[in-house]
Copies of this chain bind each other. A is one copy, B any other.
Amino acid sequence: MHDTRKVNVMEDIYGENEHIAVHTREALTERDAFCVNVMGAPGVGKTSCLKALFACLKERRPYVVEGDIESDLDARHLRELGIPAIQLNTFGACHLDAPLVRNGVQNIQFEGPSMLFIENIGNLVCPAEFSIGEHVKLLISSVTEGSDKPYKYPLAFEKADLILVNKVDLKPYLDFDEDFFMKGLRALNPEAPVFFVSARDGSGFAEAAAWLEHKAAHMREEAYPHHHHHHHD
């Protein structure tokens, strides 16, 4: 960001991106599809966590948009499990953006109350800068990444609405400092719930799924917060 030409162009792009993201979110709300932007570093277990979450959803049917640079391994794997999954490829770009996601989601045929998980590119930096139409941002971290990640990649931890810390089954073999991790995280984000989970044995996901379904049940109020209050204005 040392280049003023780049800064000017990027400001335009951020503004257009935000505008499209708001429209996508409104359209998904109308279609009763609660949208989760799934962020996290490469190899943190995003797809594995999604599968464990799906097993715990009680009120909504899961749909997936898989963001990858150029592969489609995860989308094919999910389809084999019977989960509707759309592939979006960025062909080099380091994050999903709202125009690409809008084109991907507008043709999904949601059947009843739905939860749409959009798995972003594995990257702990850039995806946090771009809204894509989500109701909430889900950040997946992992005990194998080390306990200093909130200090080093603050924006992703600051912007998350829900945080999963995966691979707790490996904790006995690591020196993950949970107090240091939580201290750094809470300095950035005092409120987001944090669940320690293991995609390998499924532990911790029931609580996370319940939190998401509770949020989803209230998405219309949150999308139009002033509808409840306009006669008090």
Query: Which A positions have Cβ atoms within 8 angstroms of B?
Result: 1-3, 5-6, 9-10, 12-13, 41-43, 45, 68-71, 73, 90-94, 97, 99-100, 121-126, 142, 144-146, 148-149, 151-155, 167, 169-170, 173
Complex: A99 Cα to B6 Cα, angstroms: 15
Q: Which of A41, A123, A125, A154 has the most CB of B within 10 A?
A: A125
Copies of this chain per assembly: 2
Q: Is there contact, CB below 8 Å, between A154 and B12?
A: no
Complex: A209 Cα to B71 Cα, angstroms: 33
- Specify which of B10, B99, B146 is in contact with A43 (CB 8 Å cutoff): B146
Q: Is there contact, CB below 8 Å, between A93 and B173?
A: no
Complex: A144 Cα to B152 Cα, angstroms: 19
Complex: A167 Cα to B143 Cα, angstroms: 13
Q: How far is the CB of A154 from chain B (nearest CB, A)?
A: 7
